[in-house]
Chain A
Amino acid sequence: EAQVTQNPRYLITVTGKKLTVTCSQNMNHEYMSWYRQDPGLGLRQIYYSMNVEVTDKGDVPEGYKVSRKEKRNFPLILESPSPNQTSLYFCASSLWLAGTDTQYFGPGTRLTVL
């Protein structure tokens, strides 16, 4: 089954404790992206990757890191989480981002930073 998976689905952590949210897709997609969703705001892009070893900042990259060592995986790293990073996170992928490619979203990770 074609899908985007994220782990963990739920996470409660404390300020400053490094964490990684994994994202994996099995559709051989080139483009992958991380979004966060907060009440009253649209999905905001954190980072995206056009291909292996190619990553770029989205609209809200501060406090996050990503890597793209393999095509299928695109982990999101919070080196020192803070309470303002409490949010719902989505990973998404598409074949390319030629404007017409549908993005497929993962199930979401709800993160709480205390």
Chain B
Amino acid sequence: ILNVEQSPQSLHVQEGDSTNFTCSFPSSNFYALHWYRWETAKSPEALFVMTLNGDEKKKGRISATLNTKEGYSYLYIKGSQPEDSATYLCAPRSGANNLFFGTGTRLTVIP
């Protein structure tokens, strides 16, 4: 079992604000880091998969960076919109066959 920490647990931002949150994981035996977006009453959907130290991925207004040496990843949302309201999950994979999910950051964007 991997110790995965996401912070903050929840946050509220105003529409138009940019925001970011963190996923921390053990840096040893790192293989890949997944980000998922989970809207209420739906199922988690994949955002990014990152493998290399220094990786940056972008999808629209959402981007992510990866630091495998120190064991963290940041997710950024630029100009938050109400439809960005969701729980954002990170899941690192080490040498094992499985992903270990963090408890998520619950984002609420206030119109």
A residues apposed to B, CB below 8 Å:
33, 35, 40-45, 48, 50, 56, 58-59, 90, 97, 99-108
Contacts and interface: CB of A to CB of B under 8 A. Distances in A.
Interface in B79-97: 89, 91, 93, 97
A41 B103 contact: yes
A57 to B, nearest CB: 10
A50 B97 contact: yes
Given A42-B104, A43-B89, A103 B99 contact: yes
Given A41-B103, A102-B34, A97 B97 contact: yes
Contacts of A41: 103
A43 B46 contact: no
Q: Please classify the interface of chain B as helix (H, G, I), strand (E, B), loop, or mixed, using the class held by over half of its residues.
A: loop
Contacts of B100: 42, 45
Contacts of A59: 1
Contacts of B62: none
Which of A35, A43, A48 has its CB near the most chain B CB atoms (within 10 A)?
A: A43
A100 B51 contact: yes
Contacts of A43: 44, 89, 91, 101
Contact size class for B? 20 to 34
A100 B66 CA distance: 14
A35 B44 CA distance: 12
A102 B1 CA distance: 20
B97 A56 contact: yes
B103 A40 contact: yes
Given A40-B103, A99-B49, A105-B44, 9 more contacts: A42-B100, A42-B103, A42-B104, A48-B98, A56-B97, A99-B31, A100-B49, A103-B46, A104-B46
A90 B44 contact: yes
A42 B102 contact: yes
